[in-house]
Structure 1
Amino acid sequence: MKRWTKLMVGAAAIALATAGCAGSGGTDSSNEQKAGQPRTLTVWLMNGSAPATLTDALNKEFEQKHDGVTVKYEVQEWNGIQDKLTTALASQNPPDVIELGNTQAPAFASEGVLTDLSKDVDKLNGGQWLASLKASGEWDGKQYSTPFYAANRMVIYRTDMFQQAGVTPPTSRAEWLAAIGKLKAKFGKDKQFQPLYLPGQNWYALLSFIYDEGGDIAEKSGNDFTATVDSDQAKAGLEFYKQLVDASGTTAPKDNDEQNPEQAGIYGQGKVAMMIALPWEVDTAAKNNAAIKEKTSAFPIPSRNAGETAPVFQGGSNLAVPVNSKNADLAKAYLALILSEKYQSQFAEAGMVPGASTDLSALDANPVSKAMADASKNGKSVPATPKWATIEAGQNPLKDMLTAYLTGAKDIDTATADANKALDAAFSG
């Protein structure tokens, strides 16, 4: 489920603009086929998105409810999916239901290759949708994709180290910094120990601190975005990031992110008390150290306001109906079923934040997934612009800003001003 952090909308998407795509309404195949005539609904979901037990039951129920319909369920790989979707959506015979990374959705919507679902929101359990994923599916005032599922970061920690240092999970930034100090006092004689492993370019974590200060990456006007990382609020978030780095004395590189080197592997070595991470990184850490899983729990990223959790970047997947689908009516019915409480609750049982359900009780069974669920109630998305995925996959100005400030190459005013200029250029490019 890491995949949405690596998705990009590259030059291949440009081909959509010249592919002779249809408008935004979708095709009602009931006008083309006689009642009862065999029909095939093609569904593309991504590898790892839904347990086989769920999709098997879902597809069986759908076929039973729709006489003569066969669901052609095809699991796709994230690697290469951008080009595959670009080609499929530009054709006259695309799949009928597709899964998109939430950073992909605005680009495809803006190209006119997705069906407008605005009038169907209520039928698709819209009252239960995650606000962050709903926003990523909107374009030009219309809804082109629905939430599917999501995940967000939290602070994963060693319960045994916390206990030995007399530390309890912090509920404010001040308590978090104090906990770092206590952990250093207890284990600091070990030169390999780190109370918090925090790479210099974990911009997902930075977003929480910026959001918590009341700031954001950009502000929206119509379909346009203007960067705001040079605001006082964004600077305050960046300053707190540096406070954490300095207080922890982390040896993580300041010029790379949490995947280089893989932070879960560092945590798994047993010398790190905390990391800001996604829930499945615990399993990654346990690959070479199975015992660490039993010693691990999590808490939401604390807010500067005591007793509150900081807002979090929420990544995930959306569902959409290609505009050239020959079975738009069936596709919408399929979305209604998969977004129903019956199946959304099963996503929670599988450890994901369901995109169309407010019942997260199934996530309470595991302390790590519970922390994710608690934080998810305050989730936000990156700017819903077709440009964002390219920004994220390319020379991300937020990463450059972090490295420049943390290394002292630039002061905070210069670092944020340069990042703001780079983001504005990307938004309008």
Structure 2
Amino acid sequence: MRRRLLALVCATGCLVSACGMLPGGHGRKTVTVWLMKDSASEEFLRRFTGDFERTHQDLRLDIRIQQWTGIVEKVRTALKDTSGDGPDVIEVGNTQVPLYADGGRLADLTLESMRDWGKDQWLPGLAEPGKDGNAQYGIPWYAANRVVIYRKDLFEAAGISGPPKTRDEWLADTEKLNSGRNQGIYLAGQDWYTLSGFIWDEGGDLAVQKDYDWKGTLDTAAALRGMDFYRRLQALGRGPVGADEEHPPQAGVFAGGQVAQIVAVPGLAQSIVRQNPGLKGKLGFFPVPGKTAARPGAVFTGGSDLVVPQNTRDQFAATAVVGALTGATWDTELARTMNYVPNKTTLTGAVAGEEGVAAMAAGAAHGRATPSTPQWADVEADNPIKEYMTRVLRGADPATEARRASRRITEELTPSL
């Protein structure tokens, strides 16, 4: 996950006991933990550190907040450090784990996750990118994903009694909402994360691995069905076919007052209301509908995993921190504090009282992540999926364009020798 919600600062660049907030650190081993900016509130980290150091009296936490800008190279450098002064635990974006695991620089935490950490209940969109073969390197911490943000008043005016439960209902309701000056939905033409969910629902994928080779698979029948649904839904609004959801920012478009729905993370509702206070109390949330009412649609799951570098000074101490942060007590507390989805499907009841987060949790139970290969970052750098979507929405033959995009994905996923 690439963005967070709250700022977290300490003048010396570290937090909690490392900043002198807790006495009695003499004689303890220090565990250095890198967490990303805005992942947790200062108050949460104070409470967690106090509890952890009370229950682990031989350990002291040194929590250091990192910026997302430039973090990949900083982590790579830390993983190669042989001085013993690097971090013992690192928060990383869930889709970044394959990048760091490549080359054997992360500790294998399979035994701990099987024995103590309830891996069978982990959200798949967090757990799968953290795994390579039978080895678990990334331990799920928290998740966030897209839902449908909608105007309750426009739904009511159109005679729609409640959120749709299936894709067919969603199309029918959106067509009713698409009248006069109002757009039934604002869906940019290059919102490939949303497209991915439709492809997964059809049983397709962006790319698959056979033996050791990856291949783009947008040209499969299942993936083409996902693109066809995207085309039909996108046509019920006036989203630009040649741009993604940030160009222009869809929160601003929604705030204009003539859009009934967007697909976005629930937190975007705060930005919408700031830009148009008249929408306060009029926004609702529902999971992206699935093919049947039996379950919501698949969604791209973002979020963070915790990893332990192979060069940690004390793997036992590092895993104690990971176990505490990702355990039921503190993972639930983090989700409530920051409006995240907890890392296990069995913990989603903790956020049931928040409409937007509850909608996220319903989708996250069936969420996925991008293909688990270090080379996927190369695909996103000049994303052929976006070009493919624009060409199809402008009337080009979907099968031809899908083959073209799949070839480009395959090329990017083939490491240079």
Q: What TM-score results when the alignment is normalised by the length of structure 2?
A: 0.89
Matched residue SS, 1:428: coil
Shift of 1:130: 1.5
Once the two structures are overlaid, the 10-residue window that deviates more, 196-205 or 353-362, is 353-362
Letter in 2 for 1:72: D
Alpha-carbon distance between aligned partners in 2 of 1:357 and 1:330, rounded to the nearest angstrom: 27
Matched residue SS, 1:71: strand
Alpha-carbon distance between aligned partners in 1 of 2:297 and 2:315, rounded to the nearest angstrom: 40
Listed as ranges, the gaps of 5+ residues in structure 2 are: 5-25
Tell me the alpha carbon deviations over residues 46-70 of structure 1, each in whole angstroms, 9 at most, x when there is no partner. Answer: 1111222222121112222223422
Q: Kindly tell me: are residues 345 and 222 of structure 1, through their superposed partners in 2, closer, same or farther at Cα, counting changes over 3 Å?
A: farther
1:63 touches 1:71 (CA, 8 Å); kept in 2? yes
Matched residue SS, 2:352: helix
Fraction of identical pairs, as percent = 37
Shift of 1:251: 2.5
Matched residue SS, 1:294: coil
Tell me the alpha carbon deviations over residues 250-305 of structure 1, each in whole angstroms, 9 at most, x when there is no partner. Answer: 22221111111110111112111000111111112122123324111111111222
Alpha-carbon distance between aligned partners in 1 of 2:169 and 2:47, rounded to the nearest angstrom: 46
Structure 2 counterpart of 1:286: 273
Q: Kindly tell me: are residues 2 and 279 of structure 1, through their superposed partners in 2, closer, same or farther at Cα, counting changes over 3 Å?
A: farther
Structure 2 counterpart of 1:3: 3
Shift of 1:212: 1.4
Alpha-carbon distance between aligned partners in 1 of 2:189 and 2:223, rounded to the nearest angstrom: 16
Once the two structures are overlaid, the 10-residue window that deviates more, 296-305 or 150-159, is 296-305
Is residue 370 from structure 1 mapped to residue 370 from structure 2 by the alignment?
no
Q: What TM-score results when the alignment is normalised by the length of structure 1?
A: 0.87
Structure 2 counterpart of 1:18: none
Q: Which one has more relative contact order, counting CA pairs under 8 Å at least 6 apart?
A: 1
Matched residue SS, 2:31: strand
Q: Which of the residues 131, 148, 151 maps onto 1:155?
A: 148
Is residue 272 from structure 1 mapped to residue 259 from structure 2 by the alignment?
yes
Letter in 1 for 2:356: V
Letter in 2 for 1:301: V
Shift of 1:223: 4.7
2:2 touches 2:93 (CA, 8 Å); kept in 1? no
Alpha-carbon distance between aligned partners in 2 of 1:105 and 1:388, rounded to the nearest angstrom: 11
1:312 touches 1:378 (CA, 8 Å); kept in 2? yes
Tell me the alpha carbon deviations over residues 83-138 of structure 1, each in whole angstroms, 9 at most, x when there is no partner. Answer: 21122221123201100111210011012211111121122342432222111011
Is residue 133 from structure 1 mapped to residue 126 from structure 2 by the alignment?
yes
Alpha-carbon distance between aligned partners in 2 of 1:427 and 1:162, rounded to the nearest angstrom: 43
Matched ranges for 1:21-32 at <5 A = none
Structure 1 counterpart of 2:378: 390
Shift of 1:372: 1.0
Q: Which of the residues 220, 233, 236 maps onto 1:231?
A: 220
1:339 touches 1:356 (CA, 8 Å); kept in 2? no
Structure 1 counterpart of 2:411: 425
Letter in 2 for 1:413: A
Q: Which of the residues 169, 194, 197 maps onto 1:208?
A: 197
Q: Kindly tell me: are residues 42 and 357 of structure 1, through their superposed partners in 2, closer, same or farther at Cα, counting changes over 3 Å?
A: farther
Is residue 56 from structure 1 mapped to residue 49 from structure 2 by the alignment?
no
Alpha-carbon distance between aligned partners in 2 of 1:284 and 1:224, rounded to the nearest angstrom: 42
Q: Which of the residues 159, 166, 169 maps onto 1:172?
A: 166
Q: Kindly tell me: are residues 227 and 279 of structure 1, through their superposed partners in 2, closer, same or farther at Cα, counting changes over 3 Å?
A: same
Once the two structures are overlaid, the 10-residue window that deviates more, 199-208 or 167-176, is 167-176
Q: Which of the residues 341, 347, 356 maps onto 1:353?
A: 341
Letter in 2 for 1:39: K
Letter in 1 for 2:108: D
Shift of 1:169: 1.0
Structure 1 counterpart of 2:329: 342
2:190 touches 2:386 (CA, 8 Å); kept in 1? yes
Alpha-carbon distance between aligned partners in 2 of 1:223 and 1:62, rounded to the nearest angstrom: 42
| Aligned residue pairs, count | 389
Structure 2 counterpart of 1:27: none
Structure 1 counterpart of 2:15: none
1:225 touches 1:427 (CA, 8 Å); kept in 2? yes
Once the two structures are overlaid, the 10-residue window that deviates more, 352-361 or 171-180, is 352-361
Structure 2 counterpart of 1:111: 103
Alpha-carbon distance between aligned partners in 1 of 2:291 and 2:322, rounded to the nearest angstrom: 39
Could you list the structure 1 runs, at least 4 aligned residues long, displaced by more than 4 angstroms after superposition: none
Letter in 2 for 1:309: P
Letter in 1 for 2:29: R
Q: Kindly tell me: are residues 73 and 223 of structure 1, through their superposed partners in 2, closer, same or farther at Cα, counting changes over 3 Å?
A: farther
2:2 touches 2:68 (CA, 8 Å); kept in 1? no
Listed as ranges, the gaps of 5+ residues in structure 1 are: 5-35
